[in-house]
Amino acid sequence: MNSNQLSRRLGTADAVVIGLGSMIGAGVFVAFGPAARAAGSGLLIGLALAAVIAYCNATSSARLAAIYPASGGTYVYGRERLGDFWGYLAGWGFVVGKTASCAAMALTVVAYAAPNLGQPWRSGFAVLVVAALTAVNYRGVQKSANTTRIIVTVTLLVLAASIAAIVLGGGTRTETFAPVTTTSVGGILEAAGLLFFAFAGYARIATLGEEVRDPKRTIPRAIPIALGIVLLVYAILAVVLLLQLGPAGLASTPDPIAHAVATTSWSWLTPVVRVGAAVAAVGSLLSLVLGVSRTTFAMARDSHLPRFLATVHPRFGVPHRAELAVGVVVAILVSVVDLRGAIGFSSFAVLAYYAVANASALTLRADENRAPRLVPLVGLAGCLVLGFSLPVASMVSGSVVIAIGAAIWVIRHGRRALSP
């Protein structure tokens, strides 16, 4: 095997599972509360809006991935369709945004598995989680896919049991929580931006393009399948949570699914839900590290990051140095970042990433199996609107980090910065 080429080992089922592991992860357990706080009774509208943007992004990504089946996802698409600068900026946004997501998922594991653990033990536990999952990824992408398959199965079973408990277990709906502000357009857009955090995992399928068998057929099939399953699960959850807790109750609890189950006659299931949330966060973190390391590998191979990261392990066939580097950075971040801030920052950076994907898809020709132009246009506009509807702190920090990435490029390349 070439020392900087990856082997194709994943089929359609593997790719779907990896996408599901990225989306049906901790996001579903933590995103509904903040979104309900922003949108109130307009939560379902926000969910529908996030779903539309996610569909447009997924369609654009799938069409591009079929043409450019290489590691890196939109980093590759932007480079090939818009120019090196835009590919680099997409890759930069993905790496920094999803590295923050990795930290958020590690902290979520700790929050559910050991909620009463204080510092420095909390950070130490999070570091151990990151180290363990980095070791799993290091052993090979097929082992990661198999591990994710188990985690996705457990998560879906827990979510199904939670829905059954809420629907069949009865219980009394209470409104003893803090009131929610009146629904507004701005609140709905903010909710959609926050909920997008829980949808964005389908990019993991595209970033693994170099490790998928028959990518021109596999990736365009796997992305919509994974997204469709997730949309169905999220829609059902949102409806039953609103019916059980009401908008105010959903907005005021940090663990709405567990709390909703606790209000039913099936309250004995609550500890299982908490364990399931921790398992889901582990699955999300596993897939996140997998995707970030592949984009890091691709950028290093093109000398946008240190070249020593662009090496494939001769035995396990993975970009082991990139994986170790991502693991080290995430281990450092879990000691200093705030969970909610990490989610907002990640959403902003990843929306910027998908904006480049949709702009790239607009350049596809009819003979390249392009989607109707309305799809990437809606996706591009939606990414920009949702990104700048997020909380101010998320917008400012995200804009600053994206600007730093652009400045680094300009310093290195001068006038070639925007050239195709």
pLDDT digits (tens, 9 = 90+) for 180-201: 445 688 889 988 988 887 777 6
The secondary structure element, H or E, covering residue 378 is: helix 374-387
pTM over 0.85, yes/no? no
Task: Specify if 336 maps to a domain.
Answer: yes
Is 267 a domain residue? Answer: yes
In a domain, 219, yes or no: yes
In this predicted structure, what is the pLDDT of residue 288? Answer: 74
Q: Is residue 6 part of a domain?
A: no
Residues 6+ apart with CB under 8 A from 241: 32, 166, 250, 256, 257, 260
Question: Quick check: is 206 in a domain?
Answer: yes
CATH code, 19: 1.20.1740.10
Asked whether residue 166 is domain-assigned, the answer is: yes
Task: Indicate whether 144 pLDDT > 60.
Answer: no
Residue of 217 and 234 predicted with greater confidence: 234
Q: For residue 156, which of 234, 266, 72, 56 has the smallest C-alpha distance?
A: 234
Closest CA to 151 of 21, 270, 271, 277: 21
Asked whether the beta carbons of 21 and 286 are under 8 A apart, the reply is: yes
pLDDT in tens, 12-39: 677 777 777 667 766 777 778 888 888 8
**Residue 5 domain-assigned (yes or no):** no
Q: What DSSP assignment string belongs to 286-301?
A: HHHHHHHHHHHHHHHH
CA proximity to 211, closest of 272, 314, 142, 133: 142
Residue 1 has a pLDDT of 44
- Domain residue limits at 96: 12-418
Q: Could you tell me the pLDDT band of residue 357, with boundaries at 50, 70 and 90?
A: very high
Q: pLDDT by residue (tens digit) across 301-342?
A: 777 777 777 777 666 666 777 877 777 788 777 777 766 677
The pLDDT value given to residue 171: 58
Q: What angle do CA 397, 196, 87 make, to 5 degrees?
A: 65
CA distance 96 to 336: 15
Q: Which residues pair with 212 in a beta bridge?
A: 10
Distance CA 232, CA 41 (A): 20
Reduce the DSSP state of residue 2 to 3 states and report it.
Answer: coil
Is there a contact between 197 and 343 (Cβ–Cβ < 8 Å)? Answer: yes
CB atoms inside a 10 Å sphere around CB 65: 29
Supply the pLDDT for residue 178.
45
CB 46 within 8 A of CB 184: no
d(CA 372, CA 382): 16
Question: Do you know the residue count of the chain?
Answer: 420
**Least trusted range by pLDDT, from 61-75, 123-137, 138-152, 379-393:** 138-152
Q: Please list the alpha-helical segments (H only) found in 6-140.
A: 12-23, 26-30, 32-39, 43-67, 74-81, 84-113, 121-138
pLDDT on residue 86: 92
Q: What is the pLDDT of residue 168?
A: 86
| Overall domain count for the chain | 1
End-to-end CA distance of the chain: 32
Tell me 305's DSSP state.
Answer: S
In a domain, 7, yes or no: no
User: Which token pair is 143?
Assistant: 């082992």
